[in-house]
Chains A and B, each alone.
Chain A
Amino acid sequence: MRVIQFREALREALNEEMRADKSVFLMGEEVAEYNGAYKVSQGMLEEFGEERVIDTPIAELGFAGIGVGAAMNGLRPIIEFMTFNFSLVAIDQVINSAAKVHSMSGGQFNCPIVFRGPTASAGQLGAQHSQAFENWFANTPGLKVVVPSTPYDAKGLLKASIRDNDPVIFMESEQMYGDKGEVPEGEYIIPIGVADIKRKGKDVTIVTFGKIVHVVLAACVELEKEGISVEVIDLRTVRPIDYDAIFESVKKTNRLVVVEEAWPLASISGEITYKVQKEAFDYLDAPVARVTSRDVPLPYAMNLINEALPNIERITKAVKGVLYK
């Protein structure tokens, strides 16, 4: 099968959906003339023109709100945040406007909008550029939150997100844009809310999503050398969460580790742990373990970053812990 970059997969999804539906447009900082801060939208200005690929001033609050208003009035905006770290000045528009208009209007208005861009850390960028906000958005009814980990998933899920009639938060990673993966020619859709087993195994289940999937898979290779077989569930979507996929795996392995890049309090891992103890308590042979970012702002120094983020060492330790090894 053909192999392309993560950014190319995203671009294919954007191009295909914009060709198919004139109500779809792309708006954000540097998306047009600069061809995208991370080159996701390269060439799109040339194909679609300045009416549909729109550079904005640095005003996330304003253009996020313009997107919501346009969505309420019949368009299907794709609003790019250069990173979700910059989305906090616009989070009012996401939480108070996009997520609420359908409910507050008794179902009269909907908001078919995609807010997309990279989330979480991406090297030594300092505390303000290194935060994972998946759980913040996932907390809010009215939103859907998609966090793909491969080029294949990214394309299929972005197409589904653009076609969705509800507001979707679509979270990527600067560190994945150059990742290569198999993506078939032609159109396909991956439904929102369906997890994917990224690795089959029998001893322990690891649930994770987004960029951290790759750290987990690397840890699994190390664990395999020690004879430990891990099943990796990539949630792909953290609102809604495919709980059934988790329960099914845990009923087989009887042990669960949850790994994510967010901070521990009120995280996705906390939610999954609650659901598993409630629905699969009798199947558990050990307490659920988790690996998150350390409960501190991410520092700059590389050795401190290595300690703060989920890494192979911490993941293998957690897996061995639930195996009492």
Chain B
Amino acid sequence: MPKTPLFSPKDFYFCWLTNLIAMTKTMAKKETKEKYGKETYLKWYELMFLIRKFEEKAGALYIQQKIRGFCHLYIGQEAIVAGCEAVLTPEDKMITTYRDHAHPIGRGMHPKFIMAELFGKITGCSKGKGGSMHMFSKEFNFFGGHGIVGAHIPLGAGIAFADKYNGNKAVTLCFMGDGAVRQGAFHEALNMAMTWKLPVIFIIENNQYAMGTSVERTSNVTDLYKLGLAYDMPSFPVDGMKCEAVANAVEEAAARGRKGEGPTLLEIRTYRYKGHSMSDPAKYRTKEELKCYQEQDPINDVLAKIKDKKYASEKEIEAIEEKVKAMVEEAVQFAEQSPFPTIDELYKDVYSQPDYPYIMD
């Protein structure tokens, strides 16, 4: 670990500004001011505030050892899930990494099923068999949190393959971190998805650190969207601190997918406020760098717009916040009160075959 950061906060800030300018040029010119109305902004605020409060609670419960194992929080990245959900249909599919608490909430799952999973309870969305890294919901078309970096990217292409094969109009959103793009699985999946025009959107949630290793330290190619250009794939950088930018980019990508034009690669630039996991004090970055991003906080951004446009009164905003806090409280109570799986669950759900002859000694 270098004692001084490779880049000063100032460098990052300038890097960010440069990126924003590049994005403005790259993305189709869109009048975003009027595109999303009151309803969308209030939904965004509620969803992002819910994700933030849920994750803060999960972090606190992890410290209390109510939640064990590895636990990766989404704090700072909320605009990505929120932006995506504004333009998706329930039939669309999602698959992601182990940083997977927010995506099923975005899909519409009550957070109590995620909290129960974090507690290892039978009422959890994976029956207490998955844990923090393996949330799943067939009902909400959430194909899981996966624990091997990059390995789920071909799965995302495969989910899309099945929809294309069956003539469905659904698209698959395949999320990954910036670390995953250095894996072979990423490149193989991109190549085949583009060759076969699969309706998949590859979304790099570039929070700039693969665990503790910054993007700059892993390759000469640091504009990650450019990796898609090698496969002739439409590929764009997106401002991940702005719901509108995410929604616009995903909407265009989804339209391409639904029209049979194939995949898109989006590098959505974001920042995680917490460490890689609960056990990471994040000493590889400076406080100034963190502060720089917190000043562009996506939830504050949406809230400022709501206030600016008078979409809600202070009282109405407070009501949303109280509703969210009650949901998180309900989630914790539900998780606390739910039972652990019974021991006979050990031999269930390993095989679809109900009478599989396990070796029992």
B188 proximity list for chain A (CB < 8 A)? 57, 59, 61-63, 65
B193 smallest CB distance to A (angstroms) = 8
- Which chain A residue shows the least CB distance to B160? A69
A71 proximity list for chain B (CB < 8 A)? 158
Please judge, given known A-B contacts A92-B151, A102-B349, A103-B349, whether A69 and B129 are in contact too, CB under 8 Å.
Answer: no
Q: How far is the CA of A187 from the CA of B185 in the complex (A)?
A: 39
Asked whether any CB of chain A lies closer than 8 Å to the CB of B30, the reply is no
**A105 and B130 form a contact (CB under 8 A):** yes
* Among candidates B138, B156, B189, residue contacting A108 with C-beta atoms closer than 8 Å: B138
A142 proximity list for chain B (CB < 8 A)? 350-351
**A97 and B192 form a contact (CB under 8 A):** no
**A65 and B157 form a contact (CB under 8 A):** yes
Q: How far is the CA of A25 from the CA of B136 in the complex (A)?
A: 26
**A68 and B154 form a contact (CB under 8 A):** yes
**B348 and A107 form a contact (CB under 8 A):** yes
Q: How far is the CA of A212 from the CA of B85 in the complex (A)?
A: 55
**A61 and B185 form a contact (CB under 8 A):** yes
A61 proximity list for chain B (CB < 8 A)? 154, 184-185, 188
Q: 1/0 contact trace for A264-280 toward B, CB 8 Å?
A: 00000000000000100
**A66 and B144 form a contact (CB under 8 A):** no
Q: Which positions 87-144 of chain A face chain B at CB distance < 8 Å?
A: 89, 92-93, 96-97, 101-110, 112, 141-142, 144
**A57 and B144 form a contact (CB under 8 A):** no
**A278 and B361 form a contact (CB under 8 A):** yes
Asked whether any CB of chain A lies closer than 8 Å to the CB of B161, the reply is yes
* Among candidates A25, A59, A107, A278, residue contacting B192 with C-beta atoms closer than 8 Å: A59
Please judge, given known A-B contacts A72-B143, A104-B129, whether A165 and B353 are in contact too, CB under 8 Å.
Answer: yes
Asked whether any CB of chain A lies closer than 8 Å to the CB of B166, the reply is yes
A260 smallest CB distance to B (angstroms) = 18
**A62 and B136 form a contact (CB under 8 A):** no
- Which chain B residue shows the least CB distance to A63? B192
**B191 and A57 form a contact (CB under 8 A):** yes
B349 proximity list for chain A (CB < 8 A)? 102-103, 105-107
**A62 and B191 form a contact (CB under 8 A):** yes
Please judge, given known A-B contacts A63-B192, A66-B192, whether A166 and B155 are in contact too, CB under 8 Å.
Answer: no
Please judge, given known A-B contacts A166-B352, A193-B357, A240-B357, whether A66 and B136 are in contact too, CB under 8 Å.
Answer: no
B157 proximity list for chain A (CB < 8 A)? 62, 65-66, 69
A66 proximity list for chain B (CB < 8 A)? 154-155, 157-158, 161, 189, 192
A282 proximity list for chain B (CB < 8 A)? none
- Which chain A residue shows the least CB distance to B129? A106
Q: 1/0 contact trace for B198-215 toward A, CB 8 Å?
A: 000000000000000000
Q: How far is the CA of A240 from the CA of B357 in the complex (A)?
A: 7
Q: How far is the CA of A74 from the CA of B166 in the complex (A)?
A: 9
**A75 and B165 form a contact (CB under 8 A):** yes
- A56, A92, A101, A108: most-surrounded residue (chain B CB, <10 A): A108
A55 smallest CB distance to B (angstroms) = 10
Asked whether any CB of chain B lies closer than 8 Å to the CB of A164, the reply is yes
**A25 and B155 form a contact (CB under 8 A):** no
* Among candidates A59, A69, A108, residue contacting B126 with C-beta atoms closer than 8 Å: A108
* Among candidates A63, A105, A165, residue contacting B144 with C-beta atoms closer than 8 Å: A105
**A65 and B151 form a contact (CB under 8 A):** yes
Q: How far is the CA of A63 from the CA of B155 in the complex (A)?
A: 9
**A69 and B161 form a contact (CB under 8 A):** yes
A123 smallest CB distance to B (angstroms) = 30
Q: How far is the CA of A193 from the CA of B95 in the complex (A)?
A: 33
A289 smallest CB distance to B (angstroms) = 23
Q: How far is the CA of A321 from the CA of B356 in the complex (A)?
A: 36
**A70 and B159 form a contact (CB under 8 A):** yes
A192 smallest CB distance to B (angstroms) = 9
Q: Which positions 141-199 of chain B face chain A at CB distance < 8 Å?
A: 143-144, 146-148, 151-163, 165-166, 184-185, 188-189, 191-192, 195
Given contacts A105-B349, A141-B358, 15 further A-B contacts (CB under 8 A): A56-B192, A61-B154, A62-B184, A65-B153, A65-B155, A66-B192, A70-B165, A72-B162, A96-B151, A102-B350, A104-B130, A104-B136, A105-B130, A105-B144, A106-B136
Q: Would you mind naming 11 contact pairs between A and B with Cβ atoms under 8 Å apart?
A: A57-B192, A70-B159, A72-B158, A72-B162, A73-B162, A74-B162, A89-B184, A93-B154, A101-B144, A104-B136, A105-B138
Question: Which residues of A line the B interface, CB within 8 A?
Answer: 25, 51, 56-57, 59, 61-75, 89, 92-93, 96-97, 101-110, 112, 141-142, 144, 164-166, 193, 240, 278
For the complex of A and B, 4 pairs with smallest distance between CB atoms: A69-B158, A65-B154, A62-B188, A106-B127
